[in-house]
Amino acid sequence: MILQKREKIILWSCVVLIGIAMLYVFAVDQYFKCFQRIDTTLRSKQQLLRSSKGLLAQKESLDNDYSRLRKLLPAQGAIDEYASRFIIKIEKIARGTGIRKISSITPLPVKQAEGYQRLEAQINMEADISGLTRFLYELASGRNLLRIESLQVNNSMDNPDPLKIQVVASTMYIEK
């Protein structure tokens, strides 16, 4: 089969177009994708560098905050002693704020965080609304660095008073 000049031009044009398409798909496109990956990596590293520089600029104020927190929360003794003092402190706050009945105070497992440990206790109690309000206020605003993690109030429509309350409170333990 002999091809005419016009058919040869069409055949070679198709071969060249297919070759250019394959060259683009397997070489040029991969080359650009590689540069896009490098660019994305570079941008993320630049963002990390900017945030690290920001933290470095704040280092002095962060150190001051950390030392202030350490003064507020002296970690003396072992973590078990500190946990028992934490539970006693919660009980004193509850008794001083008019909580009617404390059913239980249960220590929860210690949670590890970056640079400190978080102690939590679950308190089951009965109180009226004013006692609960005073108790939550004392927990949240005292010098004890206590935090209210969760609050659950259960009461029935038949007997709304006293409220049955479950509070999970936490504090930080920093080893010296």
Structure tokens at 77: 């003794």
Predicted confidence (pLDDT) per residue in 120-143, tens digit:
899 898 888 888 888 888 888 876
Per-residue confidence band for 46, with pLDDT thresholds at 50, 70 and 90 = very high
Per-residue confidence band for 43, with pLDDT thresholds at 50, 70 and 90 = very high
* Residue 165: other Cβ atoms inside 10 A: 22
Contact 153, 136 (CB under 8 A): no
Residue-level pLDDT at 22: 92
pLDDT beyond 90 at 13: yes
| Over residues 4-17, mean pLDDT | 90
Residue-level pLDDT at 15: 93
Per-residue confidence band for 159, with pLDDT thresholds at 50, 70 and 90 = low
Q: Which of 9-23, 120-134, 150-164 has the highest mean pLDDT?
A: 9-23
Per-residue confidence band for 20, with pLDDT thresholds at 50, 70 and 90 = very high
pLDDT beyond 70 at 103: yes
- Residue 143, judged by CB atoms within 10 A of its CB (0-12, 13-18, 19+), counts as exposed
Contact 116, 173 (CB under 8 A): yes
Could you give the CA distance from residue 166 to residue 123 in angstroms, rounded to a whole number?
6
Of the chain, the percentage scoring pLDDT greater than 70 comes to 89
Residue-level pLDDT at 81: 83
Predicted confidence (pLDDT) per residue in 63-99, tens digit:
888 777 767 665 556 778 888 888 888 888 888 887 8
59 backbone dihedrals φ, ψ, rounded to 5°:
-55, -45
Residue-level pLDDT at 160: 64
- What is the separation of C-alpha 172 from the centre of its chain, rounded to a whole number of angstroms? 15
Residue-level pLDDT at 128: 83
Residue-level pLDDT at 42: 94
Structure tokens at 122: 């679950």
